[in-house]
Structures are given as structure tokens and as C-alpha cells.
């Protein structure tokens, strides 16, 4: 029913087919936390010497790709940092043996699976996940800040192991003593650590880096350029940016212990219901509440930049949501657990096939989240965060509605230019059929 999402689970670990995140050249692995080519790896290493300082002779927004990457060192470095290359990682240099082994094991495993599944998936589906490069205007838009259509795996792939996850029962939890934590407590602590790690590895942009980039604002002229774009181009841009962000959320989900044990139908149902909600929670990390701007295509933008979309009410509601979440000052650990809860929160979703299994993980994530809030003496936040979950549902419903209206006016734009994953998540197949016919 959902071939592309299915493919993501099957082929996601094919690291060698993912181009360098910085310039789109052939990658050689994960370097300083990001999949890059040898050229960008060396460039980032050299940039860390204290004597080095770069400046941009243009407008600090140069496009970085394979052919232009040597033209502006300043913008190349900005992109490295924005995409998560870590200065600290320079000290440690290469990946640890354990990380490397687990990454290779994962790639091997998926190659085997790929062979087995060749009969089940058509070439068209695989191509949707690894599209061929260089087809006109769309590719340019899609590749500007995320050269690859696939997500960013991080060095440690251990969360992807298909090992049996054994979660104890809820009753165990309540018969512990503070001196001797019982199995349940240990498991909840383990789950908390796993979710936090998964978040750190897949959050797309580190929060410190987002904050350091807050000074980068669009100029009045740049805002006008966006405002003069056609409604179709602006929708397509936003769809591409949202799809980039969603691919990281898919990776986050996969690394949560227990998620990969769900049947494929339920994994997809949860991602369809929850991936945009997680992106909207993550939006608060990329939001500057001082001037109501959000990180978009390399700089901070206010609502006015989205004017040509023709749905300012939705954009304003999304900004308001991010702002109100900012006022709660969630720590990264709290964001991690809250987003995991948002994702697994579809216990009452009638599309689930193994409801009990999903509810069980939901209960454990819920416990983990409450424990963290209690430990941080912030349990007063709980009711506020539950209200936010309701707002998220409304925003996502509103987004579907706006997309439906846009598609009625521009069916072919959606059909031929929007990212396949975006269409799969937010349109229903029967509608799509009508448009194609």
C-alpha cells in the first residue's frame, strides 16, 4: 500500500549509496558525525585549525555542490556545521571500531535483504527512494540543503539491530525500592537513554548550532524574492524541506528500542500519524522567540517569507505553536522523550494491527517521560504538554486540508514535482488515483 515507506525500512542503511551531505559527491562514510566525501572530510578537518578564518565575498548563502564547493570556504564550513559536523569530534578522529563494525554489519544485512526482496519490489519503487540525479529545476530545489534524498545515518547504528526487545510489565515497576532498582526501573532507564541517544543522532541540526546561526536573518530583498515566487514553487520548496526533516524522524523512530519489532503496517501507520507532529515539536528548537523567526533554507525567516503559499493562517498557527513550546524551555532530553511519546501515541488508532504491542511501548515511553519530568521537578508541565499534543493533531489536520485544496488547483504539480514520501504520508491513495487518471 505504501511502497516508499516500505523501501525506507528495507534500504535505509545503504550508506555507500548516500551522496556527501555537504556537496553531493560520492560519500566515503560518516565523518565527524555526518556522511561526507573525502574532500569535505579533509576540508572540515583543516578548518578546525585555530589559525584558519574564512570570509564570504558574496552574501553568505553560496550554493555548495560538487563543482562549486571550493569557491567559498566560509559557506562550505557553515553548511558543514549546520548539517551537524562536530568540532569536538575532530579530537576523536575516526569512528570507533564498534561503530564501524555495526555500520558495516547493518549494510551487509540490508544488502542481503535487498537481494531477497528484489522479487517483491518493482524497480520504480527503489528509484523513488534513490532518485537519479539532475532532472531540471526540482532537483536543484531538493538538493540545496540536503543533497541526498535519503536520511542521515549517524556513526552508531546499534539502535537498528533487530534484537529481541524484552520489556517488563508495568506491575514490576511499582514494587521496587529506592535502594534496589528492580528490572522494570532498569529497563525504563535503558529506554530513556536509548531515546535520548536516538534523538541526538537524528535531530538533523544540533541545538547549539541552531542557536549560533540565529544572527543569520534573511534581508528585506531576499524576503521579497521568496514572496515573488509562484505559489507552486513555494509549496514545492516547503514540501521538500519538510520531507528532509521527516526523513530524520523516520530514522529516529527506527532507533527507538521496540519500534522495529512492530509489524510493518504499524510502523507506517505511526509514522503517517506522527512524523509531522514530531517535526513541529522539533521546530521549537529551530525557533528564535526573540524575533519570531525559524530556521529555513540556511537562515532565520519570519512568517512573511511564506506569504506566497497562500495559507498564512496555517503558517501563523505553526509559528505560534513553536513559540508557545519555546516558553516551556524543554531540555534536549525532554524534547527527545516528548517526541517519542508523540510518535507512539496512536494507541487508539484503529488502523493498528497489533494494538497491544504498540500500547505496551507507549506505556513505557510514558513512564520514562514522567520519570524525567519528576526528576527535573517539572511534572507540572505534564498537563501543558498533553494540551500541546491536541494542538499538534489540529495543526496536522489543517495541513492535510490545505494540501487537499492546493492539489485541487494544481494536481499535476503535486503529482510530478512533490517528493514521493511527502505524497505518501499526506495524500490518500484513492485521491491520487483520481488525479493520475
- Where do contacts with ligand HC3 occur on this chain (CB under 6 A)? 204-205, 238, 241-242, 245, 279, 282-283, 286, 294-296, 306, 309, 311, 314-315, 318, 399, 402
Return the number of the residue (20 or 325) whose C-beta is nearest ligand HC3.
Answer: 325
Check the CA dihedral 287-293-294-300 and report its sign.
negative
CB of 26 to ligand HC3, least distance (A): 26
Give CA–CA dist 409/401, Å, rounded: 13
The residues with which 225 forms a beta bridge, in sequence order, are none
Give CA–CA dist 304/340, Å, rounded: 31
Return the number of the residue (72 or 294) whose C-beta is nearest ligand HC3.
Answer: 294
- Angle of helix 264-283 relative to helix 355-375, nearest 10 degrees, comes to 30
Return the number of the residue (259 or 295) whose C-beta is nearest ligand HC3.
Answer: 295
CB of 295 to ligand HC3, least distance (A): 5
Kind and range of the H or E run holding 300:
strand 299-301
Cell numbers standing for residue 69: 564547493
Return the number of the residue (107 or 238) whose C-beta is nearest ligand HC3.
Answer: 238
CB of 327 to ligand HC3, least distance (A): 17
CB of 234 to ligand HC3, least distance (A): 8
How many CB atoms are closer than 10 A to CB 158? 17
Return the number of the residue (279 or 421) whose C-beta is nearest ligand HC3.
Answer: 279
Return the number of the residue (32 or 295) whose C-beta is nearest ligand HC3.
Answer: 295
8 A C-beta contact, residue 211 and residue 205: no
CB of 150 to ligand HC3, least distance (A): 16
Give CA–CA dist 159/13, Å, rounded: 12
Return the number of the residue (102 or 288) whose C-beta is nearest ligand HC3.
Answer: 288
8 A C-beta contact, residue 216 and residue 60: yes
CA distance readout (Å), 131 to 34, 150, 302? 21, 10, 32
Return the number of the residue (381 or 395) whose C-beta is nearest ligand HC3.
Answer: 395
- Name the nearest CA neighbour of 314 among 280, 281, 343, 289: 280
CB of 157 to ligand HC3, least distance (A): 21
CB of 332 to ligand HC3, least distance (A): 13
8 A C-beta contact, residue 322 and residue 280: yes
Residue in the block written with cell 504520508: 425
Return the number of the residue (14 or 308) whose C-beta is nearest ligand HC3.
Answer: 308
Return the number of the residue (304 or 431) whose C-beta is nearest ligand HC3.
Answer: 304
8 A C-beta contact, residue 207 and residue 332: yes
Per residue in 18-29, is it b (16+ CB within 10 Å) or e — as a string?
A: bbbbbbbbebbb
CB of 15 to ligand HC3, least distance (A): 21
CB of 226 to ligand HC3, least distance (A): 11
Give CA–CA dist 169/398, Å, rounded: 38
Give CA–CA dist 32/52, Å, rounded: 18
CB of 206 to ligand HC3, least distance (A): 10
- Name the nearest CA neighbour of 131 among 428, 422, 424, 420: 420
- Name the nearest CA neighbour of 95 among 24, 153, 10: 153
Amino acid at each position: 500500500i505504501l511502497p516508499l515507506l516500505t523501501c525506507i525500512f528495507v534500504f535505509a542503511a545503504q550508506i555507500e549509496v548516500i551522496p556527501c551531505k555537504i556537496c553531493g559527491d560520492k560519500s566515503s562514510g560518516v565523518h565527524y558525525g555526518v556522511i561526507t566525501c573525502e574532500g569535505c572530510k579533509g576540508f572540515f578537518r583543516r578548518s578546525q585549525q585555530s589559525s584558519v578564518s574564512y570570509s564570504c565575498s558574496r552574501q553568505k548563502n553560496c550554493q555548495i555542490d560538487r563543482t562549486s564547493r571550493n569557491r567559498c570556504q566560509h559557506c562550505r564550513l557553515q553548511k558543514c556545521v549546520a548539517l551537524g559536523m562536530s568540532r569536538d569530534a575532530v579530537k576523536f578522529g575516526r569512528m570507533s571500531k564498534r561503530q564501524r563494525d555495526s555500520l558495516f554489519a547493518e549494510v551487509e544485512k540490508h544488502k542481503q535483504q535487498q537481494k531477497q526482496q528484489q522479487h517483491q519490489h518493482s524497480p520504480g519503487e527503489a528509484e523513488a527512494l534513490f532518485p537519479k540525479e539532475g532532472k531540471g529545476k526540482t532537483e536543484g530545489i531538493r538538493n540545496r540543503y540536503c543533497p541526498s534524498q535519503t536520511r542521515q545515518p549517524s556513526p552508531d547504528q546499534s539502535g537498528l539491530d533487530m534484537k529481541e526487545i524484552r520489556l517488563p510489565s508495568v506491575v514490576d515497576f511499582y514494587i521496587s525500592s529506592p535502594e534496589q532498582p528492580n528490572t522494570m526501573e532498569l529497563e525504563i532507564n535503558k529506554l530513556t537513554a536509548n531515546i535520548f541517544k536516538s534523538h541526538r543522532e537524528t535531530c538533523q541540526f544540533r541545538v547549539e548550532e541552531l542557536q549560533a546561526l540565529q544572527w543569520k536573518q534573511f534581508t528585506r530583498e531576499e524576503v521579497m524574492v521568496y514572496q515573488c515566487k509562484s505559489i507552486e514553487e513555494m509549496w514545492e520548496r516547503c514540501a521538500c524541506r519538510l520531507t528532509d526533516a521527516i526523513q530524520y524522524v523516520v530514522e529516529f523512530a527506527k532507533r527507538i528500542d521496540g519500534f522495529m519489532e512492530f509489524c510493518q503496517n504499524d510502523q507506517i501507520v505511526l509514522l503517517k500519524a506522527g512524523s509531522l507532529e514530531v517535526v513541529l515539536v522539533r521546530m521549537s528548537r529551530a525557533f528564535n522567540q526573540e524575533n519570531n523567526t525559524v530556521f529555513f533554507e540556511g537562515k532565520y525567516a519570519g512568517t512573511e517569507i511564506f506569504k506566497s503559499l497562500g495559507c498564512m493562517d496555517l503558517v501563523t498557527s505553526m509559528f505560534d505553536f513553536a513559540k508557545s513550546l519555546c516558553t516551556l524551555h524543554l531540555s534536549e532530553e525532554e524534547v527527545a522523550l516528548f517526541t517519542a511519546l508523540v510518535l507512539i501515541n496512536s494507541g487508539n488508532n484503529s488502523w493498528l494491527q497489533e494494538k497491544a504491542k504498540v500500547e505496551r511501548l507507549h506505556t513505557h515511553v510514558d513512564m520514562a517521560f514522567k520519570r524525567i519530568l519528576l526528576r527535573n521537578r517539572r511534572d507540572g508541565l505534564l498537563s501543558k504538554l498533553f494540551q500541546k499534543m491536541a494542538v499538534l493533531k489540529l495543526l496536522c489536520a489543517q495541513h492535510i486540508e490545505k494540501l487537499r485544496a492546493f492539489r485541487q488547483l494544481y494536481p499535476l504539480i503535486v503529482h510530478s514535482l512533490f517528493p514521493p514520501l511527502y505524497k505518501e504520508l499526506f495524500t490518500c491513495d484513492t485521491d491520487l488515483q483520481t488525479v493520475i487518471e
